[in-house]
């Protein structure tokens, strides 16, 4: 699948998914920073060492900030946030009180960063993007015109471990990044892990609800919608225009094609290779589920209205006492054709075939 994702540092061109995955990631991220139009000569000079007006911030460095001197952090003139002098920040950006921008981060024009937000080193943030309160960003690049709501965490290590020969649980390296496209909205307390063997990618115009977990190496296409409490395990690939209802779960290393709609609370356990609507546990075509529902209800109505009660009792007794299948020798092509004519709708042959078989098995 080839998913087109724009370069997230506003490079003015697009790059294919295969290109993103084949590049040496550290060099690629550094290249984004070097080529970004925000980091022109004016922004390179926009630091304390180049005549920038800012006051020193006196605060203790944490363990994560070991090796950084407090005097290298300054107060931002617009909002009173704190930034490192090596960060490249557009003068129009608003950084509210208690927000911290760490070294070598890039902040685009007209960005709004809420209080309590922390930008880890080398984070890229596109123009016109709004960041809520208490957001944690690291090892990531975020495109233009995005909305990141409060409590979101992007770019933390994925959940990857292995057992060594001594039986100890050891951590797998998580060294790549999370790449968020343009016009993406991410709801509160959602977590998006960084990649281990490929970057985690969220395509342009995708919308993510609150409390969503996206594992490492996940690739999500353009204009996808993920409702609340969705959980996507690692290394999943999702196409364009895919909708996941509330509390949908997707197992690891599954691929889902474009234009798929997944009903709420379902569990996707294997690849979905055809567009359409899916539901159930595990996920199956909704046309299949609808057919079973109609067939069972039609049979029940026919039994009540047309069959004497004595015969119904005799048939039910035989079904419960005998576990033999009664579908042997049935021409399911004829069954599907008859049901299609009866319902007056066009149905998929495979759905009717397996639906008829499952229904007849359920009578045993």
Whether 216 is catalytic is yes
Q: Whole-angstrom Cα distance, residue 213 to residue 250?
A: 11
Question: Which candidate in 84, 149, 216, 253 is catalytic?
Answer: 216
Packing angle of the helix pair 349-362, 286-306 (nearest 10 deg): 50
Gap between the Cα atoms of 194 and 20, Å rounded: 14
> What one-character DSSP code corresponds to residue 326?
S
Q: How far is 335 from 287, CA to CA, in rounded Å?
A: 16
Share of the chain residues as helix, strand and coil, in percent rounded to the nearest 5: 25, 25, 50
Give the whole-angstrom CA distance, residue 219 versus residue 16: 12
CA 311 to chain centre: 54
Two structure tokens written together for 78: 């617009």
Residue written as token pair 């080193």: 121
End-to-end Cα distance, the chain:
43
**C-alpha of 95 from chain center:** 27
Residue closest to 70 by CA, chosen among 107, 103, 92, 27? 103
Q: Which residues are catalytic?
A: 216
């Amino acid at each position: 699948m080839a998913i087109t994702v724009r370069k997230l540092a506003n490079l003015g061109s697009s790059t294919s998914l295969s290109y993103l995955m084949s590049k040496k990631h550290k060099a690629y991220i550094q290249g984004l920073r070097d080529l970004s139009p925000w980091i022109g000569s004016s922004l390179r000079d926009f630091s304390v060492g180049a005549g920038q007006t800012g006051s020193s911030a006196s605060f203790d460095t944490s363990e994560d900030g070991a090796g950084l001197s407090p005097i290298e952090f300054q107060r931002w003139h617009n909002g009173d946030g704190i930034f490192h002098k090596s960060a490249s920040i557009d003068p129009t950006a608003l950084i509210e009180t208690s927000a911290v921008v760490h070294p070598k981060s890039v902040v685009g024009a007209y960005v709004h960063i809420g209080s309590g937000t922390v930008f880890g080193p080398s984070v890229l943030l596109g123009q016109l993007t709004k960041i809520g309160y208490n957001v944690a960003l690291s090892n990531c690049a975020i495109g233009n015109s995005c909305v990141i709501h409060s409590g979101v965490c992007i770019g933390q290590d994925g959940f990857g471990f292995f057992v060594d020969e001594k039986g100890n649980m050891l951590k797998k390296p998580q060294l790549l990044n999370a790449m968020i496209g343009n016009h993406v909205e991410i709801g509160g307390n959602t977590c998006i892990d960084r990649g281990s063997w490929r970057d985690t990618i969220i395509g342009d115009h995708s919308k993510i609800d609150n409390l969503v977990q996206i594992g490492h190496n996940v690739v999500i296409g353009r204009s996808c919608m993920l409702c609340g409490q969705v959980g996507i395990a690692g290394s999943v690939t999702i196409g364009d225009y895919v909708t996941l209802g509330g509390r949908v779960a997707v197992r690891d290393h599954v691929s889902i094609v474009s234009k798929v709609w997944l009903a709420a609370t379902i569990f996707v356990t294997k690849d979905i290779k055809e567009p359409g609507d899916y539901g159930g546990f595990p996920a199956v075509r909704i046309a299949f589920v609808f057919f079973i529902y109609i067939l069972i209800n039609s049979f029940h109505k026919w039994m009540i209205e047309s069959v004497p009660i004595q015969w119904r009792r005799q048939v039910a007794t035989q079904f419960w006492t005998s576990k033999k299948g009664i579908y042997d020798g049935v021409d399911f092509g004829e069954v599907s054709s008859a049901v299609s004519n009866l319902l007056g709708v066009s149905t998929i042959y495979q759905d009717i075939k397996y639906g008829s078989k499952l229904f007849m098995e359920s009578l045993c």
